[in-house]
Structure 1
Amino acid sequence: MLDRTTVQIRLANKNDHQLWNDYVKGHAKATPYHNYAWVRSVESAYGHLNTSVVATIKQGEQEKLVGVLPAIKMRIPLKGARLCSLPFCDVGFALADNDDIRDQLLTQLTSLFPQICHYEYRDSEHQVFALEQQGTKVRMLLPLPDSSEKLLAGFKSKLRSQIRKAEKNGLSFEVGCNQILLNHFYQVFIYNMRKLGSPVHSKAWFQGLFEQYKSDMLISVVYSENTPIGAGIVLLNNDKACIPWASTLAEFNRLAPNMLLYWSLLEYVSERGFKQFDFGRSTFGEGTFKFKQQWGAEPVALNWYLPNQSKTDESTNLATNTEAGKLRTLVENTWSVMPIGLTTWLGPKVRKYISL
């Protein structure tokens, strides 16, 4: 173990971008959200302050990173300033060479901002969730074989027939990362978010991710003839892929675009050697959980908490117990009946303050 006195903890800066990402790519527990592109995109799109910290040691005349903790300071109307690791995604836990360095990162971050009482740390278990407890928030993780052929063969016949149904209905897809696909994704996304009664992320947010992640971002768009009817974004890191957003247009759901959308992305990443696909957050036993489970994904518990409280106290698991604020509840109750132009304009002004 490194001598505690040799480790220096400081705020990250723009010059750490490459060092940070090199460290993340070499860490077994890293997720695509740990890419420095995420915090930079939050900063550029929404103006929240990047308060990430790094742990370093001296290696000759050079600094060597031995730990990173991504974090964002959000100033929320009526609630004040909050720290979050990380907003707009499922996880943002510290990565470090050992537990002692991880603890130092957490301690130093909170000491740098003593006036901020609320710091939300989004951790995750790293083993399959065994307890069948309704209401528990989980990540749904699918181990990938070394080819899409093996993956398809492992699906139940009903799932394979649903994928074929989409193809028989004349749907097609394109997977890549270009501006046209991003525009088509957002075109579908804004309609789906309005239907769900949820404020939409700004186009600038996705544009920032597109520009920051570059080849570590994939977009799939499903078409009926030339009309985009389904779309999703996948982020990549090492041998892991995650899908933060997927949307379809409800009036085309009878054609099964959702099945073709997910298959297009699973096929793509499995053929390129990725070993894990993260379907994202679900509530144990509910509809989205069952949808992801049918692909073979297994639940891993999320553990969101305030670092100055006990992680083992179930009542402090913010992933399970987070309640919508009054503003968000009001918006959700009225959003789906508002004109699409209004929700597209107003949504980002609200969404930037919702860390989920």
Structure 2
Amino acid sequence: MTIAISIANEADQPSWDAFVAQHSDASPYHRYAWGQAVQAAYGFTPRYFIAKQNNDIVGVLPTIEFSRPLLKNKLCSLPYCDLGGPLATELSIVQQLLDAAKQHAKKQRFDHLQLRQLSAANQPPATPEQLQGLKVSMRMALAQSAEAQLASFKSKLRSQIRKAEKNGLHSETGNSETLLNHFYEVMLVNMRALGSPVHSYQWFEQIVKHYGSHCLLSVIYKDDIPVGGGLIVKNGTMASIPWASTKAEFNRLAPNMLLYWSLLAHCADNGIELFDFGRSTYGEGTYKFKTQWGATPTPLAWQDFNKGLAVDHSQVTNNTGADSKLSGMVKSWVVGSWQRLPLQMTGSLGPRLRKYIDL
């Protein structure tokens, strides 16, 4: 039977999302809303390839035309998140979607096509030695209720959650404009403290708008002061948390523990079976934080095509010696300089830079 590949439009959104919702390899980022938010907030053009057989969807590949000043443009699946790539009912359809994306990239003179995916499920489990230093996706199966989820945690973790509550912190969840403003206030402060440009307010506004009930904000308060904030997006029985922040001056009160618990509790009580804590470097700080909740690593296998040909990253030599030291010094200087800028300036300048950082 003939497979027809085309670029999806707004009329395809309901059937696109229905296909993504039932696909076992899909993430919340595969939903049509991600591309809508990217276009509305940053102006990049989504190219969502759709495969149909007798008018039924049998495969999808969401991509974004990602243009950067003075750098080569690329077709990315997907920017600003960990996961994208093709979803299909058969491997042959995956290849047809990839071929269509490569042809489109060539036509638009985009040298580069990037797919962000998990490692194949049929690969043998990686050993700790093999995972050392690699980027991994941290995931956890959830219990069927918040009560059961809390009972599954070790006593130390439960006491850390209670510590936040005893310290006078409380959480509020929803999608209101007030929560969004308070979430962004925390993000702005935290990203400057990390020495990194912050996304625009419009980006998060568009995520909330287009994901609707498939998005949830949680803000942690000390009295009336927002001290922590996180955002999750959902698809089917899976939820992902792409952004979570706290104000460092309040970290002694354990806002991070209550923040994650508020979102995990919501998910457990609302039919979510798998929680994606996001990307971490194996063995480092954020990895250890996520493992205490029960998350386990799955290697990320991002794949690049240059002019249609797969790039073999094993042949790329990492910087060593003097080059590596110089790179580290430059990064340290940039981070330190950003941390010293006035908050208002980072809020104005940051989004203009962050737009072009696809990670």
TM-score, length basis structure 1: 0.91
In structure 1, the partner of 2:134 is 136
Counting only pairs closer than 5 Å after superposition, residues 214-225 of structure 1 correspond to structure 2 as: 214-225=212-223
Alpha-carbon distance between aligned partners in 2 of 1:342 and 1:149, rounded to the nearest angstrom: 44
Alpha-carbon distance between aligned partners in 1 of 2:25 and 2:317, rounded to the nearest angstrom: 21
**Contact 1:310/1:316 (<8 A) preserved:** no
Shift in CA distance, 206/280, structure 1 to aligned 2, threshold 3 Å: same
Deviation at 1:57, TM superposition (A): 1.8
Shift in CA distance, 83/27, structure 1 to aligned 2, threshold 3 Å: same
Alpha-carbon distance between aligned partners in 2 of 1:51 and 1:260, rounded to the nearest angstrom: 38
SS at match of 2:138: strand
In structure 2, the partner of 1:85 is 77
Counting only pairs closer than 5 Å after superposition, residues 113-192 of structure 1 correspond to structure 2 as: 113-114=105-106, 115-125=109-119, 127=121, 130-132=126-128, 133-192=131-190
Most deviating of 49-58 and 255-264: 49-58
SS at match of 1:52: strand
Shift in CA distance, 330/118, structure 1 to aligned 2, threshold 3 Å: farther
Deviations, residues 174-204 of structure 1 (Å, cap 9, x unaligned): 1112111111100100000111111100011
Q: Which amino acid aligns with 1:124?
A: L
In structure 2, the partner of 1:25 is 21
Runs (5+) with no aligned partner, structure 2: 319-323
Deviation at 1:80, TM superposition (A): 2.7
Q: Which amino acid aligns with 2:71?
A: K
Shift in CA distance, 47/104, structure 1 to aligned 2, threshold 3 Å: same
Shift in CA distance, 261/315, structure 1 to aligned 2, threshold 3 Å: farther
Q: Which amino acid aligns with 2:259?
A: L
Shift in CA distance, 248/266, structure 1 to aligned 2, threshold 3 Å: same
Alpha-carbon distance between aligned partners in 2 of 1:172 and 1:93, rounded to the nearest angstrom: 38
Shift in CA distance, 285/326, structure 1 to aligned 2, threshold 3 Å: closer
Q: Which amino acid aligns with 2:17?
A: N
Shift in CA distance, 315/301, structure 1 to aligned 2, threshold 3 Å: farther
Deviations, residues 14-40 of structure 1 (Å, cap 9, x unaligned): 222112111111212111001100011
Counting only pairs closer than 5 Å after superposition, residues 42-81 of structure 1 correspond to structure 2 as: 42-58=38-54, 63-81=55-73
In structure 2, the partner of 1:257 is 255
Alpha-carbon distance between aligned partners in 2 of 1:148 and 1:315, rounded to the nearest angstrom: 47
User: What is the count of residue pairs matched by the alignment?
Assistant: 344
Most deviating of 261-270 and 128-137: 128-137
Deviations, residues 258-299 of structure 1 (Å, cap 9, x unaligned): 000000111111011210000000000000000000000000
Shift in CA distance, 24/325, structure 1 to aligned 2, threshold 3 Å: farther
Shift in CA distance, 305/35, structure 1 to aligned 2, threshold 3 Å: same
Deviations, residues 110-167 of structure 1 (Å, cap 9, x unaligned): 1122122111110112659532132110000000111122211221111111111001
Alpha-carbon distance between aligned partners in 2 of 1:330 and 1:45, rounded to the nearest angstrom: 30
**Contact 1:222/1:257 (<8 A) preserved:** yes
Deviation at 1:326, TM superposition (A): 11
Deviations, residues 331-351 of structure 1 (Å, cap 9, x unaligned): 434211111100000111100
Percent of counterpart pairs with the same letter? 47
Counting only pairs closer than 5 Å after superposition, residues 6-17 of structure 1 correspond to structure 2 as: 6-17=2-13
Runs (5+) with no aligned partner, structure 1: none
Shift in CA distance, 48/327, structure 1 to aligned 2, threshold 3 Å: farther
- CA-atom RMSD in angstroms: 2.3
Counting only pairs closer than 5 Å after superposition, residues 298-337 of structure 1 correspond to structure 2 as: 298-307=296-305, 308=308, 314=314, 331-337=334-340
In structure 2, the partner of 1:193 is 191
Shift in CA distance, 334/41, structure 1 to aligned 2, threshold 3 Å: same
In structure 1, the partner of 2:95 is 103
Shift in CA distance, 17/110, structure 1 to aligned 2, threshold 3 Å: same
Deviation at 1:65, TM superposition (A): 1.2
Q: Which amino acid aligns with 2:20?
A: V
Q: 1:278 aligns with which of 271, 276, 283?
A: 276
